[in-house]
Amino acid sequence: MKKIVVVGGGWSGCGAALAARKAGADVTLLERTDALLGTGLVGGIMRNNGRWTATEEMFAMGAGELFDACDRISTHRNIEFPDHKHATLYNVNVIEIEIRRILEEAGVKLVFEARVSGAKMDGKKMVSVSVKDIGEFEGDVFIDTTGTAGPTGNCTKYGEGCAMCVLRCTSFGGRVSLAGLAGVPEKMAVDAEGRIGAMSGSCKLSKESLAPWVIEELEKTGRIVLPIPEEKQDKKKLGKKACQQYAGGAFAENAVILDTGHAKLMTPYMKLDVLRSVKGLEKARFVDPYSGSFGNSMRYLAMSPHDVTLKVTGVENMFCGGEKAGPLVGHTEAIITGSLAGANAVRYACGKELITLPTSLATGDAINLVTSLQDQELGWSKKYTFSGSVYFERMKSLGLYTTDKEAIQERVRASGTEGIFNTKIIEAAAV
């Protein structure tokens, strides 16, 4: 049986591991910390705007398990908040154990507190990776889903210092790029003003620290929008966000809060005295990052060159997903790229033709667009997401955005990709 090693257990790594296992491979997922999902333990927003379309495309292509879990473990469905419609909010407090169960039942081998720090190469081919105090893991194909945030030195160099976020670099060791260990020259995102990287775009507040009437509204409707006193508004900081879909004027003028189990504050940071000047938030307390007064984690500091199949350029047997595959922002986007990388890793190991998602689908168009921009000057300076900003406008202009489930299913059928992620490659190869 072909061995696939996935390094990084965020949403993308989970998508990659599940897709590779469904394709029939022996799959090991190595996660640096003691839990899956990474920034997915802070996030919680699914199906907003064009993500609804992309999610239903993935269901039709046979990769709906992780999306289904988010639907089931949800606090609210079909909610609206500024510039966003029909969103689902999953409960960040309970989603991890559910995703862990799905992977374990599928037969994925999970190894925690496994920070990969070394790799053995045979020319351009990776042979194994090493984890201190655990050992070596050999593989036929490797998938880099290590993300682009951290370690703490990068947050100090390009941000405001370690803000003590959910990635917990100081406890489990900082991110190590698998592609970097293989000698692949990776890219940092630079925005139009020349700033390197981008800052994570939201914070978690302790729900119990909010006024009772705020809690009541949050739990009833899933969202609340509270005006920030005009003299305390900071409109410049939103330009630093990775999540530009949440950077419109309403997010500068208001404290936009969503109920994801915790209270999700839709801003990268906010001075505590400003936060507590908002009516209803007089006793508010940050949960993630703990230093949410001055900054957040820095991201998009190590993106891997790749082709449209997500095969990494420069290594014969490596694929990438999530933020490693370019500035596609969000959980939905990470699951999609991870799933494609996982399926293609098994196909590559078996000598089968690799999947290229067609541009007639939003999922395929997004991957093709981001891949095509990587070699252009400032090509990866913008951030792309199905849920807003530049790419959502493209979706609408191309007629790719719809919430008509039957139309999406027909589009997938017409593209020839229906159920493609349910194909058992290794059994087919053995026949």
Strands annotated E in 298-399: 298-299, 318-320
pTM: predicted TM-score of the whole model, two decimal places: 0.96
- Same domain assignment for residues 152 and 56: yes
- Same domain assignment for residues 136 and 282: no
* CA-based torsion, 129, 146, 47, 326: positive or negative: negative
- Same domain assignment for residues 190 and 230: no
Q: How far apart are CA 426 and CA 105, in angstroms?
A: 19
Any domain includes 208: yes
- Same domain assignment for residues 343 and 222: no
Any domain includes 293: no
- Same domain assignment for residues 363 and 284: no
Q: Per-residue pLDDT tens for 389-422?
A: 899 999 999 999 999 999 999 999 999 999 999 9
- Same domain assignment for residues 111 and 241: no
* Confidence at residue 430, expressed as pLDDT on a 0 to 100 scale: 42
Of 58-72, 97-111, 129-143, 221-235, which range is least confident? 221-235
Contacts of 272 (CB under 8 A, 6+ apart): 284, 286, 292, 293
Q: Please give the tally of structural domains in the chain.
A: 2
- Same domain assignment for residues 170 and 237: no
Cα atoms found within 13 Å of the Cα of residue 175, Cβ hemisphere only: 32
In this predicted structure, the answer to whether residue 245 has a pLDDT above a threshold of 70 is no
Q: Per-residue pLDDT tens for 261-304?
A: 999 999 999 999 999 999 999 999 999 999 999 999 999 999 99
- Same domain assignment for residues 263 and 346: no
- Same domain assignment for residues 228 and 82: no
Q: Per-residue pLDDT tens for 345-374?
A: 999 999 999 999 999 999 999 999 999 999
Of 134-148, 206-220, 228-242, 393-407, which range is least confident? 228-242
* Confidence at residue 248, expressed as pLDDT on a 0 to 100 scale: 67
Q: How far apart are CA 401 and CA 65, in angstroms?
A: 22
Q: How far apart are CA 332 and CA 353, in angstroms?
A: 25
Residue-number span of the structural domain to which 270 is assigned: 201-288
